Amino acid sequence: MTRSDLRTSIRDYLYESTADLWLDAQLNRWIDQEMRAMPRKGVYSEEIYSTTQVVDQLDYALPTGTYKTELVEINTGTTDKPYWIEAKGWDNYGGALWFKSRPTYAYPMRVHVRKSFTILTDDVTATDVPDPETEVLIFGVAKRAYKAILGYFVDSRNWDTIAKPDGVSLNQISNLYQQSKLDYDDSIKTYRKYPRPRDIDMTG
């Protein structure tokens, strides 16, 4: 789905066939903001990044867009018969994985990471958000759009200087906002990931 497709779906939800109220530029900004917010709400992509440890090297660059490292494993077996064990004593900082002690062997390493989705910079590039999870984007942007209208309504200056939309009240917009929030929260519950429990590292 492209950014243009996303805007169309958002306008469908807002019951707006053309850019009568919300500008494309506004929706684009809210799409960006929502995509950046998704990982901290548990909606993200997953990747297993493979590399090889280097003797005495402490830091290893992580893939662009890495939000959090979940697990680090090293292969102490062979290529034909791998034996993956969890690596201890590491941390994330500045887009890199840092070990607290220098590796003494060049073990193959795999890093399980959460990744943010790629921010769209044009209308024609397909997003890397899976199609089902674009529902989170659509509802999230709609919620932001209704919240912006609430801000417009409560600005006392607008009552005298700018006409309100015919047949629309503050209560109606508030109800639409609350419904969009319910839809958004439900989509978050549906698509958020719950990493499997792991033993707490009390020594690393």
- Dump pLDDT digits (tens) for 47-72: 999 999 999 999 999 999 999 999 99
pLDDT of 9 > 60? The answer is yes
Q: Are 185 and 135 in contact (CB under 8 A)?
A: no
Answering whether pTM is above 0.95, one says no
Phi, psi dihedral angles at 133 (to 5 degrees)? -80, -10
Dist. CA 102–CA 58, nearest whole Å? 6
Dist. CA 41–CA 123, nearest whole Å? 25
Dist. CA 189–CA 124, nearest whole Å? 29
Query: Considering the chain, what percentage of its residues have pLDDT values greater than 70?
Result: 87
Cite the DSSP H helix spans in the chain: 3-13, 24-37, 134-154, 156-161, 170-191
